[in-house]
Amino acid sequence: MKKNIIKPRKKPHSPYAHINWEKASLLFKHSAGDDKNKRIYPSVKEMLRILTAAGAIGLAFAFPGAALGIGSIVLGKNSYSRWSIKKIADQLVRQKYVKVKENADGTTTLLITKRGMTKALTYQLDSMKLKESKYWDRKWRVVIFDIPEKYRYIRNIFRMRLVQLGLYKLQESVYVSPYKCFNEVEFLRELYGVGFTVRYLLVDKIENDSFLKQRFNLT
């Protein structure tokens, strides 16, 4: 008698599986904002964001032993002591978000790993929000897409991100918002490599849109 063999389920593809990491680095240069909160130590999020923007080049820091607490390093618009940078860098190395390269001139180069870039992207995506205008310009932003079935996992992630941004699902692959969202949608479609299947429309009128106005509390 044959035994039933239970085959292990296939793990879903990572939502970042098809990302062009070089392009992702460029996206971070244009989309990432500076942390406005002044702190003694840079946050892991801030460090990863800046390292991602630097891409494969990484950031070079001079850590000459006894001089760790001397001078400062500027990240974004904030400056931190070399000691605090070193402390966070050590943490990132332990978490395998960066690799360290010791240079002949006594400097240390931090190179972000794929694991680190993935974490940075997760931070970036989870914090993306649309800015709600005080006055509506009476135009609708409509996002339509036709992502093939074979990329349904990416399609579902893309939909989830649109909802996270606050867009309303008008139809299966049609989402709408009264607020400007081109930059955010551009970031998402470039990140997931679906730019050729996604369109951003700016329209003056949607038929029977009273329920949409109510949904977004528009007057």
| Number of domains, the chain | 2
Structure tokens at 215: 């949904």
Q: How many CB atoms lie within 10 A of CB 166?
A: 16
CATH number of the domain at 202, please: 3.30.70.240
> What local confidence, expressed as pLDDT, does residue 159 receive?
94
Residues 49 and 120 in one domain: yes
The answer to whether residues 50 and 59 touch, using CB atoms and an 8 Å cutoff, is: yes
The answer to the question of residue 46 being in a domain is yes
> What local confidence, expressed as pLDDT, does residue 161 receive?
92
Distance CA 133, CA 130 (A): 9
pLDDT in tens, 119-133: 888 887 888 888 888
Structure tokens at 105: 């001139």
Give the residue from 126, 149, 164 where a domain finishes.
126
> What local confidence, expressed as pLDDT, does residue 19 receive?
65
Residues 207 and 167 in one domain: yes
The answer to the question of residue 156 being in a domain is yes
CATH number of the domain at 61, please: 1.10.10.10
- Residues with Cβ < 8 Å from 112, sequence gap 6 or more? 48, 51, 52, 54, 55, 58, 97, 98, 120
Look at residue 13 and tell me whether its pLDDT is greater than 80: no
Residues 208 and 178 in one domain: yes
Give the residue from 93, 126, 159 where a domain finishes.
126
Residues 60 and 108 in one domain: yes
User: Percentage of the chain surpassing pLDDT 70?
Assistant: 70
